[in-house]
Amino acid sequence: KRLFVIDTDAGLDDAQAIMMALAQPDINIIGITTVNGNTTVNNVSKNVLRLLKTCRRLDIPVYQGCDGPLMPHLDPVDAGHYHGVDGFGDVPDPDPVDPKMIKPEHSALALVRLANEHPGEINLVAIGPLTNIALALRLDSGFGSKLKHCFIMGGNTEGKGNIKICAEFNFCADPEAASIVLNLLGCPVTVAGWELCLKCGFTWEWYKRLISKGTAKSELMRVLEANTIVKFYKEGSSEFYITADQIIMSVAIDPKTVKAHEEVYATVALNDPLTRGMMVIDWSEHLQKKPNVKVVTEVDHDLYGKYLQDALN
Ligand code: BDR
Ligand code: CA
């Protein structure tokens, strides 16, 4: 089986992305590490347990990680309007899992250990701010070289921000961590940025099929998203339901998801308040640096949609 570790700030799109991996019989998720992002790390861990309970997969170890970015924020980002303050639609769980199920080991330490236990085998799917992963790299500079591949949802390719003028949420939430990871990880890295998400929307009719399956998973997503993501896009008169973390998960599950990509050197703007957190891509090779990321520019939308629909069956 292929080994996956998922680093998440679940989050509603994270939840669906995790379900996508759970639905693949050839994938073994050997750990889920949580990080502050869409909500506090405590909430994220609770959300992951709730999701695993729904999927009857509480056997998967959950590790709790960083409760904030590497550097204190002057202007912290907030995703409450999109995911709910608790990150899961502000719909309390009537039968919550005992938080004691969370492993005592810190996410960053678990990442380092798992990479040592399975050198060259782990596909790390990073769908939150990159704090835990940057920290893992600082704990062990060889961490990245022990991974098989790192798949990241984050950054932007055309300077279109979803949380600041030109910065995407995950990178903006911890720009230093994003910079450390892009510049120092050293394993093959694939990135799906925010502009790709905007191109990969689904019609509301398609969305209705997704949340009307009558399964526990599709019911959970229907309830959690009704007053959050769905309201957000419908109130904005969006023709489409926009996804994010699910795209990079589809890429990690099946490379055939990628229809086009570019291999480029990418880094992160850190110093100017207007651009802080923006991914900066050297499209024209001005810096003459070795490419460090594969940026996905187009996906097979039907195939991607199929993985998403299958996940909630
Ligand atoms: C990213 O930000 C978060 O709100 C989502 O979960 C996703 O990881 C999209 O920019
Ligand atoms: Ca996320």
Q: Which atom of ligand 1 is nearest to the CA of 79?
A: 4
CA of 198, nearest ligand number? 1
CA of 245 to the centre of ligand 2 (A): 6
pTM: 0.98
**What is the DSSP code (8-state) at residue 60?**
S
Distance between CA atoms of residues 204 and 239, nearest Å: 7
With a 6 A CB cut-off, is 196 part of the ligand 1 pocket? no
What is the rounded average pLDDT of the residues 39-52?
A: 98
Phi, psi for residue 98 in degrees, rounded to 5: -60, 120
Q: Which residues surround ligand 2, an ion (CB under 5 A)?
A: 9, 11, 14, 127-128, 245
Predicted confidence band at 78 (pLDDT cuts at 50, 70, 90)? confident
The per-residue pLDDT for 166 is 93
Distance between CA atoms of residues 142 and 187, nearest Å: 10
With a 6 A CB cut-off, is 16 part of the ligand 1 pocket? no
**pLDDT over 90 (residue 59):** yes
- Residue bearing the CA closest to ligand 1, atom 2: 169
Residue type present at position 87 = G
pLDDT in tens, 127-169: 999 999 999 999 999 999 999 999 999 999 999 999 999 999 9
With a 6 A CB cut-off, is 22 part of the ligand 1 pocket? no
Distance between CA atoms of residues 85 and 294, nearest Å: 33
Site to substitute for ligand 1 among 6, 7, 8, 9, most atoms within 8 A of C-beta: 9
Distance between CA atoms of residues 104 and 101, nearest Å: 9
With a 6 A CB cut-off, is 244 part of the ligand 1 pocket? yes
**pLDDT over 80 (residue 74):** no
Site to substitute for ligand 1 among 169, 191, 194, 278, most atoms within 8 A of C-beta: 169
